[in-house]
Structure 1
Amino acid sequence: MSELLTSSTVDQYRSLIAQTSSRVAARFAETAKPASGASRADLQRLVDAVDLAGSGVGGSSAIEEIDELFLAHAVWFHHPAYAAHLNCPVALPAVAAESVLAAVNTSVDTYDQSTVGTLMERRLIEVAAGWVGFAAGDGVFTSGGTQSNMHALFLAREAAVAQLDEPRSIALSRMVVFATASSHFSVGKSALLLGLADDAVIEVADDGDGRMLPTALDAAIAAATAEGRVPMAVVATGGTTDRGVIDPIARIAEVCDAHGVWLHVDAAYGCGLLVSQRRRHLLTGIDRARSVTVDFHKSFFQPVSSSALLVREPRDLAAGAWHADYLNPLENDEPNQVDKSLQTTRRFDALKLWVSLRAIGPDRIGEMFDTVIDLAAEVGDVVDDDPEFELIGRSQLSTVLFRVRPDGASPAEQDALVAGVRRVLFESGRALVAKTVIDGRPCLKLTLLNPETTLDDVRAILAMVKDAASTLASIDDELELVGADA
């Protein structure tokens, strides 16, 4: 019997998918904590014990094995005690769509491989561009925010090169990008991959809470220009990863317009605001950007991967076009999206968002994002009112930064607790929180992206944080006593 999904294996497909969905559903229903707590050594032994070079065991047995190996030890983003990174529980219609696109295996790089899929993605890009305010915009789906940001800066680089009458190597050596210390790491990584100088990313001062200062940007661009450098792009952030704050995009756009510099807005995190009825104003000015990154697999509650790069001027995407006879012949007038993308083979990830929009609508998605932002504000109040915690700033989105502050603990002791608390919770599997560094000091980070998580759920996480800190402090005290006795 064939092991491929063909007309002769339809019954086998039904059986295997039913078995798979049943096992996954059971895990969702039975999961009592966000991770199993199994040690890395134990997990490595389980993985190494699987014979990947031997004879096949059959689909049913393989799925049973995946249940026991992967699902039993997966990290579950839907669990209310998961509050670490920008991972979200996913909308059920999108999960159904994921199974469809995987089964059909469409590639949307060329029209003849996807037909209606290409047209659906183009329509969805048109709708998303409309949310931004790009009346005649364009774009393409990508693997994630890092690729979207790199693609945007590539387009900005090519636009800048086209304006200069000098060899490309000299032009690249003079180009600079402006961003804050809170901008995503992919800005610096993109500068490296795009062949810019080691000091090409110029750090712009912020307001002390992570938001770019337009006056500082203006001065930085003027200074770089006076030094003979070429301002290639400004990256404003519509939701920083750690602080969850939003740069003043409209005022930054004014500076960019005055200097004639490409403005890219990284709204990977905050793109859910585009469909919010209550907070859309936080992205005011985004329509004045030349390019925008959106990550639907963050604040639109889509399965990974579902991201896009949107551009105000469709002609900008032509900078990455490349001709290949077998893909996009010159005489072809079909809408081949390989001309827009940095990828060739590309999944029909747009289908997930399409089905979600049809099933629940953009307004409901906006409400869901508003819900987690409301929750973060409530949690911030709880932390701020608790003498055992120190709140680190206020988020405009759904993150909460804080430190544990036991009685009599010095700043150095508070800092030391951060990594320990995170490790204790992670190793137990009871709750997952993140760690980051703000203004040179470590702190704990809650990232709340589950609309069904309640304030009581987060209070429970905070109680576990206190317990872990108390345990660690007791151990340290005992070690000090032992050291004194010795």
Structure 2
Amino acid sequence: MNQFKDYFLSQHAESQNSFQRILSETQNLLSEFYRQQPKVFNGKKAEEIEKEIALLTNSSINGESPSLVLKEIMEKVVSNSIHVTHPGSMAHLHCPTLIPAIAAELIIAVLNQSMDSWDQSTAATYLEEKLVKWLAEKLLLADSADGTFTSGGTQSNYMGLLLARDHFCQSQWNWDVKKLGLPAEAHKLRILCSEKAHFTVSKSASQLGLGEQAVVKIKTDAHMRMCVSTLKKEIQRLKSSGYYPMCIAATCGTTDFGSIDALGELTEAASENGMWLHVDAAYGGALVLSKKHCGKLAGINLADSVTIDFHKMFYQPISCGAFFVKNKSSFQYLSYHADYLNPEEEDLDHLVNKSVQTTRRFDALKLYMSLRIVGERDFSCMIDHTIELAKQTALWLKETSGIEVINSEPELNAIVFRFTDEKDADGLNLHIYKKLLYSGEGLIAKTKINGSQYLKFTLLNPQTTMAEVKLAVESLSQSAKEYKQKEEAL
């Protein structure tokens, strides 16, 4: 089968040449593309991009020139993409990626380790566990803690609520959900979270057989944090009505506002009522590396489970996240054994015992390389810069005529605001959002608060400065002025 040497990396000269040739060409094309300083987005409409992609050939019979395929990819895919590395990209929790992490992605792809069984991920198993232990120590978790890498917040939040459900059924009713399915009383189980919590709390409840009706949303205070006094009253109301409050799902960095619930007080409330405390720190967990702001995580070490994403303020390529538990014994609710994969009698570290996934990527390597090459000092500086920029931006927007700011004192680096208009504020803000997007000069997000249209800066990019923010607002202001002039002319 010598004709296949060009397709796989090995010791053969043909393989080495093929590998170096295609990687070198890819590297040169990407470097040249970014050297030309592309806009955040080229401004094409969705239907135009869809047509261009539709014209691409799906496959070939006899294979094609790598140069030809790469040329088409650059023209149809890369040029039509959102460029998150651009300092004007300020929309979602969608970060630029660190160069060491990009290099790690190549190693991950070449090795192609599967993190389920030890004999598929020998050294990778121990590097992931080493990094999990380091992160647990950073979070000040107990020695009994453990964790695993995940695809991100959705999977981690799902795991947290799954463990909360099974733990409650086991401890309260001596009921084994793994073997017996849900008990008759399951329809009375309740999860309490902030009204600003991530949608995956409700999504997970529906997938876990509890239904969206199991999620009780607690109102937030002026800082968009869960109101603890309301939470406590609701827990007692539920109990007196015959329901079973089993879990408090706290948020450390809400998607829209970056607000952080009072973790210490929520820990007390959970403990007093025999409830599991899950903390969704997908966004805010990166503060563990911030010298100025790590104190905002106070209380997270007492949670029963914790979600952290690395493809946000750890600047890792998607996807990369982690899930932690206070007691490693909690993973018993996920553990299954197969003779061909992780037989019970084997004394080896099979990481599949801690995950809802079987095949899983060696994502720990890219975070590990980033931490080693970039260093904790610069991670801290990058995170602190974006939070300081958000504070400056919020203050400046607050003092700008015709703009309303919801969170004028941002906890992380997200600011929600809108341009005011007596006739049609929703139409105005949607118009100027689209105008900026299709100009390609910048990218911000849109969201709805109490049914009204708002705009949002998510300032994740450490390369973004106040100059880029002001440039975006200047463009938005001009569009707002044009919109209002048209209104007046009608």
* CA distance in structure 2 between the aligned counterparts of 1:236 and 1:45, rounded to whole angstroms: 43
Residue matched to 1:4: 8
Residue matched to 2:31: 25
TM value normalised by structure 2? 0.94
- Shift in Å at residue 88 of structure 1? 1.0
Residue matched to 2:192: 178
Residue matched to 1:138: 146
Question: Retained in 2: the 8 A contact 1:174–1:197?
Answer: no
**In the alignment, residue 411 of structure 2 is paired with which amino acid?**
Q
Determine helix, strand or coil for the equivalent of 2:147: strand
* CA distance in structure 2 between the aligned counterparts of 1:219 and 1:472, rounded to whole angstroms: 47
| Cα deviations by residue, 1:174-213 (Å, 9 ceiling, x for unpaired) | 1110001100000000000000034100111221331012
Are 1:465 and 2:480 an aligned pair? no
Are 1:267 and 2:278 an aligned pair? no
* CA distance in structure 1 between the aligned counterparts of 2:469 and 2:444, rounded to whole angstroms: 11
Are 1:351 and 2:362 an aligned pair? no
* CA distance in structure 1 between the aligned counterparts of 2:30 and 2:59, rounded to whole angstroms: 26
**In the alignment, residue 125 of structure 1 is paired with which amino acid?**
V
**In the alignment, residue 204 of structure 1 is paired with which amino acid?**
I
* CA distance in structure 2 between the aligned counterparts of 1:328 and 1:107, rounded to whole angstroms: 13
- Shift in Å at residue 106 of structure 1? 1.1
Determine helix, strand or coil for the equivalent of 1:178: strand
Residue matched to 1:396: 411
Q: 2:155 aligns with which of 147, 151, 155?
A: 147
| Cα deviations by residue, 1:100-158 (Å, 9 ceiling, x for unpaired) | 10121111111100101000000100111111111321111111101100011001111
Are 1:47 and 2:53 an aligned pair? yes
Q: 1:445 aligns with which of 437, 441, 456?
A: 456
Determine helix, strand or coil for the equivalent of 2:254: coil
**In the alignment, residue 45 of structure 1 is paired with which amino acid?**
K
- Shift in Å at residue 263 of structure 1? 0.4
Are 1:71 and 2:85 an aligned pair? no
Aligned CA RMSD, in angstroms, stands at 1.4
Are 1:366 and 2:374 an aligned pair? no
Q: 2:430 aligns with which of 399, 419, 423?
A: 419
Question: Retained in 1: the 8 A contact 2:390–2:412?
Answer: yes
**In the alignment, residue 336 of structure 2 is paired with which amino acid?**
W
TM value normalised by structure 1? 0.95
Larger deviation: 246-255 or 2-11?
A: 2-11
Alignment of 1:314-393 (within 5 A): 314-393=328-407
**In the alignment, residue 159 of structure 1 is paired with which amino acid?**
H
| Cα deviations by residue, 1:61-107 (Å, 9 ceiling, x for unpaired) | 21221111111111011111111100111111111111110121111
Determine helix, strand or coil for the equivalent of 2:308: strand
Residue matched to 1:106: 113
* CA distance in structure 2 between the aligned counterparts of 1:39 and 1:204, rounded to whole angstroms: 39
Question: Retained in 1: the 8 A contact 2:228–2:266?
Answer: yes
Question: Retained in 1: the 8 A contact 2:246–2:274?
Answer: no
Q: 1:190 aligns with which of 189, 195, 204?
A: 204
Q: How many residues align?
A: 475
Question: Retained in 1: the 8 A contact 2:202–2:212?
Answer: no
* CA distance in structure 2 between the aligned counterparts of 1:198 and 1:265, rounded to whole angstroms: 19
Question: Retained in 1: the 8 A contact 2:53–2:77?
Answer: no
Unaligned runs of 5+ in 1: 481-486
* CA distance in structure 2 between the aligned counterparts of 1:10 and 1:226, rounded to whole angstroms: 70
* CA distance in structure 2 between the aligned counterparts of 1:24 and 1:333, rounded to whole angstroms: 46
- Shift in Å at residue 445 of structure 1? 0.3
* CA distance in structure 2 between the aligned counterparts of 1:97 and 1:42, rounded to whole angstroms: 34
Residue matched to 2:166: 158
**In the alignment, residue 472 of structure 1 is paired with which amino acid?**
Y
* CA distance in structure 2 between the aligned counterparts of 1:225 and 1:366, rounded to whole angstroms: 43
**In the alignment, residue 417 of structure 2 is paired with which amino acid?**
F
Would you identify which runs of 4 or more consecutive aligned residues in structure 1 move more than 4 Å?
none
**In the alignment, residue 434 of structure 1 is paired with which amino acid?**
A
Are 1:37 and 2:48 an aligned pair? no
Question: Retained in 2: the 8 A contact 1:175–1:232?
Answer: yes
* CA distance in structure 2 between the aligned counterparts of 1:385 and 1:440, rounded to whole angstroms: 25
| Cα deviations by residue, 1:302-354 (Å, 9 ceiling, x for unpaired) | 11111000111001012111111111012211100001100010000000000
* CA distance in structure 1 between the aligned counterparts of 2:57 and 2:370, rounded to whole angstroms: 39
* CA distance in structure 1 between the aligned counterparts of 2:124 and 2:105, rounded to whole angstroms: 14
Residue matched to 2:298: 284
Q: 1:209 aligns with which of 223, 227, 244?
A: 223
**In the alignment, residue 404 of structure 1 is paired with which amino acid?**
F
**In the alignment, residue 218 of structure 1 is paired with which amino acid?**
K
* CA distance in structure 1 between the aligned counterparts of 2:35 and 2:347, rounded to whole angstroms: 50
Question: Retained in 2: the 8 A contact 1:398–1:447?
Answer: yes
* CA distance in structure 1 between the aligned counterparts of 2:410 and 2:341, rounded to whole angstroms: 46
* CA distance in structure 1 between the aligned counterparts of 2:376 and 2:488, rounded to whole angstroms: 53
